[in-house]
Amino acid sequence: MKKIIKILSCFFLIMGCSDDNNLLEDIAVRGGFVQFVDVPDLNFNILEADSQTISARLVDPNNNITSYSLSAVYDGNVANNIVEITSFPADLNLSVGDILSSLGITNSDLSLSEGITLVAMVTTPTGVFSGETPAYDENNVNQGGDSTVRLKATGLKDAIEFDVTFFLPPAKTIRSTSFEEVAIGPNTDDVYDRNGGNDETGDLINGINPPFVDYTAVGTGADNEIGFNTEYFAIPGISSSSLGFSEERIGVYSLFEDYEAYPDGTQGYHIEDADGGIRITFDTVDVPAGQNNSGISFQAFFGDTSWESEDGIHAFVNITTDSGNDTIDMVDIFDDDVEAVAGVWNEYNTGFLQGVRSYQLVIEASCGATTESFDFDNIVVFEPED
């Protein structure tokens, strides 16, 4: 037995030292593998993705690659051979804007929940290898690439399949209101006394004492709350008892009956038993000159009760752009859809929009019973942080 082991050891040693024969090459095909010297930052601001560049140094640890090309995949779109490298080491400088153009998309098509996958096709003297991970179907047929997932361990810094991902930058306030500057009364059961007839569609006017339904802004700076105006509009058939209200809890209050805290501050705008619709129109807020990204959000609380077909809110924002005027719906929910989100604060947010020059938020709330109530708070027009 010792004699056999000695002979085999000599065999392996001889084959391993031979210039013309290598036992490992005889039993396995060496594919292509490309590494980053240092893994680059592949997570970009989604608002500025098209101006970013992937920059990295690439190496060929097997020293056998004759060609390395990258393809991009995003949401069913594929762009082949967006870059090709034929010698290593090499510098990769790939514009994300060029990737988007190759895919036929723009920044506005990108999603925070999905990245762009870059897959290498590596050519060596022994074949062409896809950097995509194998994916075997129910018939054990490979529907994917040639690269084992073990080659994609973090420490190996592979450049054969990797993702470009995106993040949303923090927002800062252009203008906002949490209704904190509006005076309130000493009692939470104070009611707003309606001017005009109960069923008349028209503007509501502040009385001598709170609650107040209108507010004139004291300035236009970031620290000045947004002003607003309130109207009533009739909705025939919304209430079996009456059309329109004469005195109800409508306007700015500090109420903690249905929730422990407001999203911001200690006051908000409350509506109940309007027997019709209440329209709150906020002042127009201009976006700073030169700012191409901005948005608007607000929060709403719906009383946890039974809501009927005419009960709910429609909120929209009138915007101006460099090319004209437009309207964007933010939320339009009634009846059972309101019940599904009642009892908690809900945020409605446009996200960052491009090219908007001003915003004017309008909230229309309609209800026909005392138990159906709305609270609004934390209206914010925002832009990205510097």
- At 96, which helix (H) or strand (E)? helix 96-103
Pairing of strands 373-384, 268-272: antiparallel
Q: 165 vs 108, 115, 117, 332, 347, CA distance in Å?
A: 14, 4, 9, 32, 25
Residue % of the chain over a pLDDT of 70: 91
Question: Over the stretch 43-90, which tens digit does the pLDDT of each residue have?
Answer: 999 999 999 999 999 999 999 999 999 999 999 999 999 999 999 999
The predicted-structure confidence for 169-185, as pLDDT tens digits, reads as follows 999 999 999 999 999 99
pLDDT band per the 50, 70, 90 thresholds, residue 144:
confident
Taking residues 209-215, report their average pLDDT: 98
Q: Which CATH architecture has domain 28-167?
A: Sandwich (2.60)
Q: 348 or 21: whose pLDDT is higher?
A: 348
Closest CA to 318 of 302, 296, 343: 296
Residue 252 pLDDT > 90: yes
Q: Is the pLDDT of residue 1 over 50?
A: no
Domain locations along the chain: 28-167, 172-384
Cis bond before residue 211 (omega within 30° of 0): yes
pLDDT of residue 30: 65
Q: Let me know the angle formed at the C-alpha of 360 by 356 and 362, rounded to the nearest 5 degrees.
A: 135
Q: Model confidence at 240, in pLDDT bands (50, 70, 90)?
A: low
Alpha-carbon distances, residue 60 vs 66, 93, 102, 223, 348 (angstroms) = 10, 17, 26, 57, 50
Alpha carbon separation from 370 to 9, 250, 363 (Å, rounded)? 93, 11, 19
Give the residue carrying structure tokens 């992937």: 54
User: What confidence score (pLDDT) does residue 12 get?
Assistant: 28
What is the mean pLDDT of the segment spanning 143-168?
87
Mean pLDDT across the chain, nearest whole number?
89
Give pLDDT tens digits for 159-170.
999 999 999 899
Model's pTM, two decimal places?
0.76
- Number of Cβ within a 10 Å radius of residue 51: 12
Amino acid 119: pLDDT: 97
Q: Which of 176-180, 307-311, 340-344 has the lowest mean pLDDT?
A: 307-311
Helix (H) or strand (E) holding 97, with range, is helix 96-103
Residue 265 burial class via C-beta count within 10 angstroms: exposed 0-12, middle 13-18, buried 19 and up? middle
Residues 364 and 278: beta-carbon distance below 8 Å = yes
- Place 152 in a pLDDT band, splitting at 50, 70 and 90: confident
Q: Could you tell me the pLDDT band of residue 19, with boundaries at 50, 70 and 90?
A: very low
Q: Is 166 exposed, middle or buried (0-12, 13-18, 19+ CB in 10 A)?
A: buried
Topology classification of domain 172-384: Jelly Rolls (2.60.120)
Complete DSSP assignment for 2-59 = HHHHHHHHHHHHHHHH-SS--HHHHH-------EESSPPP-EEEGGGGGG-EEEEEEE
pLDDT band at residue 261 using 50, 70 and 90 as cut-offs: very high
Model pLDDT, residue 284: 98
